[in-house]
């Protein structure tokens, strides 16, 4: 018996769990491959630990030197700015690790037994990008302040300051343009 146009004897769509074998295997492979994001998560966590450890060692060494010889003050301030820089780098690496984990492995809710602060929740790659760029601007700024404190030549500080300003402006423009693109979707 032939089915006539408009009849209900049309072939039903397969249920989602009855997809052709190739599609199911491909989707399973792709979903499983997201676990590869554990590699950068582990590396970023180790790098953050390294930055925090190095910053701590530098702090105690600097503290010891300041106690022994507290003058000249200017150079001592630069050493502590190096600590701030190292800890900011460690925080950037940690934020990146959390972002990769949340985006590729599993969402970590802001409430519950294991949680991240609400400001650290990552909904998409743009959230991660914005946080990393903000941290990069902080690191660049602190690095420049460290140079300004330690560098005796004003012209070199001015040249580096112009470069730092250009990078920060470029990053701000990039964030603004990509935010506008996100809003048009």
Least confident of 34-43, 82-91, 99-108: 99-108
Cβ contacts of residue 165 below 8 Å, gap of 6+?
Answer: none
Mean pLDDT, rounded, for 39-59? 96
- Assign 172 a pLDDT band (cuts: 50, 70, 90): very high
Which residue reads 């250009």 in tokens? 166
pLDDT at 52 over 90: yes
Q: What is the pLDDT of residue 119?
A: 80
This prediction has a pTM of 0.72
Q: How far is CA 6 from CA 3, 10, 124, in A?
A: 9, 9, 44
177 vs 44, higher pLDDT: 44
Cβ contacts of residue 89 below 8 Å, gap of 6+?
Answer: 51, 139
pLDDT at 168 over 90: yes
Cβ contacts of residue 128 below 8 Å, gap of 6+?
Answer: 95, 96, 99, 100, 103, 122
Percent of the chain past pLDDT 90, that is, above it, reads 34
- CA dist 24 and 11 (Å) reads 21
**99-130 per-position pLDDT tens digit:** 999 888 888 777 777 777 878 888 888 889 88
Which residue reads 């792709």 in tokens? 30
pLDDT at 41 over 90: yes
pLDDT at 53 over 80: yes
Torsion over CA: 22, 25, 26, 27 (sign): positive
Mean pLDDT, rounded, for 68-76? 72
Q: Strands (DSSP E) along 14-130, which ranges?
A: none
pLDDT at 59 over 50: yes
Mean pLDDT, rounded, for 156-161? 91
Respond yes or no on whether the N-terminal peptide bond of residue 85 is cis (omega within 30° of 0).
Answer: no
Least confident of 44-48, 71-75, 137-141: 71-75
């Amino acid at each position: 018996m032939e089915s006539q146009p408009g009849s209900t004897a049309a072939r039903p769509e397969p249920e989602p769990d009855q997809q052709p074998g190739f599609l199911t295997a491909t989707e399973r492979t792709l979903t499983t491959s997201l676990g590869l994001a554990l590699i950068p998560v582990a590396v970023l966590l180790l790098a953050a630990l390294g930055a925090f450890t190095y910053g701590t060692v530098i702090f105690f060494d600097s503290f010891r030197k300041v106690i022994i010889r507290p003058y000249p003050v200017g150079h001592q301030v630069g050493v502590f700015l190096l600590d701030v820089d190292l800890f900011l780098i460690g925080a950037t690496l940690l934020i990146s690790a959390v972002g990769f984990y949340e985006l590729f492995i599993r969402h970590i809710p802001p409430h519950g037994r294991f949680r991240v602060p609400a400001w650290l929740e990552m909904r998409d790659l743009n959230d991660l990008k914005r946080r990393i760029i903000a941290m990069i601007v902080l690191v660049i700024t602190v690095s420049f302040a460290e140079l300004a404190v330690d560098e005796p030549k004003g012209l070199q500080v001015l040249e580096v300051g112009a470069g730092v300003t250009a990078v920060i402006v470029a990053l701000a423009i990039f964030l603004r343009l990509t935010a506008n693109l996100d809003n048009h979707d």
